[in-house]
Amino acid sequence: MASAARALGALLHRASSLSSSASALRRASLLHGTGIEPIGNAGLFRRHAARRRISTFQPLCMGRRSCKIAGRKDAQNLKKMKRNSKIGKEIVSAIKKGGPSPSSNTALAAILEKARELDIPKEILERNIKRASEKDQDTYTEKVYEVYGFGGVGMIVEVLTDKITRSVADIRNVVKDCGAKLADPGSVTFRFRQARVVNIKVTDAGKDQLLSIALDAGADDVLEPNFDDDDDSEEEIERFYKIVTTSDNYPVVLSKLQEEGLKFETDNGYELLPLNPIEVDDEAMELNKELVSKLLELDDVDAVYTDQK
C-alpha cells in the first residue's frame, strides 16, 4: 500500500509539472503575439538575441510608384552618360583624323561647340583629348544595327566603336540571349525619321505655350509624353515634351525658349523618331524594355531607338 501511494504521488507531481509547463508556454505564446516579452531568464535571453539579430533580407522596394520614378531617373542618368561617352569618342575620332587643333580641325571645333551646348563636363573633354594622343588608341567607326524586338517592334542600335568585331559580337549575344533577332540592313530604318529635338519637362511648361513657341519658330511638331493613369505630380517630373524641328530651325527654337525663360535639354545632334509607333501588350513591353536595357549596358552602344508606343 505504501509503495502504491508513493507511485501515485509521483504521478500526480509529474502531471502538475507538465501542466505548469504547458501554462507557461501558453502565456509565452500569448505575450509574444502582443509584443510583450515574458519575464525570466528565457525572456532576457530572447531580448538580448533580438538586439543582436542582423537582417539578411534584401531591402524592399518602396512601392510601385517609387520604383517607376527611380526607373525613369536611372534612364535619364544613363542617357546623359551615353551622351557624354559618345562625345568623348567623337573627339578621339576627330583628332585622329584631323589633329588636335580646333582652328585647323573643323570637325573637332564643331564637336567641342556641341559639347559646350550640351554642358559636357570639362574633365571628360580633357580626358578624351589626351586619349587621342595615345599610340595604341584606334580611331572610332560609326555602325548601325537593326533588331526585331517583340510584338512587331523594331529597334535601331547606334554604335561608335574602335573594335567592330567586338561590338557586333556583343550585340549579337545580347539579342540572342533575350530571344530577339538581328534584322537585315534597311529592314527597320525606314520606320524612323531623323529630326532635331528639344526636350522640356512637363512641369516647366504647358503644351499650348510650347505649341505657340514651335509655331513662331517654324518647328514641325510638339510631341506629348505617354502618361499613365496612376501618375502623380512626383512622377511627372520625369516626363518631357519634345519640340521637333529641322536643323535649320533648331537655333531659332532654342532662342525662343530662352526668351520665354524656359528650361530645356538639347539632343545629341539628332534623334530618330518613329513614323508609326506600335502599341504592344504588357508582356512584349517588358521584354523590349529588358532588351533595350541590356543593349545600353554595352560600352560600344551609344543609343537605342524603338518604335514601341
pLDDT at 241: 92
Question: Predicted confidence band at 26 (pLDDT cuts at 50, 70, 90)?
Answer: very low
- What's the predicted TM-score (pTM) here? 0.67
pLDDT on residue 228: 59
Q: Is the pLDDT of residue 46 over 80?
A: no
Considering only CA atoms, which of 289, 293, 15 is closest in space to residue 153?
289
pLDDT, position 234: 54
CATH 1.10.10.200 assigned to domain 65-139? The reply is yes
Do 65-139 and 189-306 share a fold?
Answer: no
Spatial CB neighbours of 217, under 8 Å, sequence gap ≥ 6: 245, 249, 252, 253, 255, 256
What span, in angstroms and rounded, lies between the C-alpha atoms of 220 and 199? 14
pLDDT(38) > 80: no
Please give the pLDDT value at position 78: 77
Q: Where are the domains of the chain?
A: 2-52, 65-139, 189-306
Contacts of 234 (CB under 8 A, 6+ apart): 65, 69
Among 67-76, 227-236, 240-249, the range with the most confident prediction by mean pLDDT is 240-249
Cα 28 to chain centroid distance, Å, stands at 49
Chain segment 118-145, per-residue pLDDT in tens: 888 899 899 999 988 888 888 889 999 9
Q: Does domain 189-306 have CATH number 3.30.70.980?
A: yes
pLDDT of residue 236: 58
* pLDDT(49) > 60: no
Report the percent of the chain where pLDDT is more than 90.
46
Summarize the confidence of residues 174-187 as an average pLDDT: 96
